[in-house]
Amino acid sequence: MFWFLLITMVVVVAAVTLAVVGGGDSEVLPEAAPEQLVDPLPLTRPVDRADVEALRLPVAARGYRMEDVDDVLDRLAAELAERDARIAELESALAGAAGDGAAEGDGR
C-alpha cells in the first residue's frame, strides 16, 4: 500500500509540474494582440498639462508597452528641454535689459 501511494503521489506531482511549466509547444501566457496608443500627444502644437493628464497608455499582457512609454517620455523630455532653453534665453535677455536700464539711470 505504501508503494502505491508513493507512486501515485509522484505521478500527481509530475502531472501538475508539467501542466504548470507547459511541457509542450503551448505557451504559458499566449501573446495578446497589442493595443495601440489611441490619442497620442499632439504633433502640431506644444504639449500642455491637459494633454498629459488625458494621456492613457495602452496596457499589454505584461504591463505597459515599453515602446509607447519610451516615445511619450522622449517627447516630453524634448519639449521640457526646449522650454528650459527658452526660459533661460528670456531670463538672460531680461537681465541684460535690466542691466542696460540701470546703467543709463546712473549716468545722468
Residues 70-88 pLDDT 10s: 888 888 888 899 999 999 9
Distance CA 21, CA 38 (A): 35
Q: Could you tell me if 37 and 67 are in contact, meaning their C-beta atoms sit under 8 angstroms apart?
A: no
Let me know: does 48 contact 75? Beta carbons within 8 Å: no
Q: What is the mean pLDDT of residues 36-48?
A: 76
Kindly state the average pLDDT of the residues 24-37. Answer: 61
Identity at 94, one-letter amino acid code: L
Residue with cell 496608443: 37
Digit-coded pLDDT (tens) for 43-74: 888 888 888 888 877 777 777 778 888 888 88
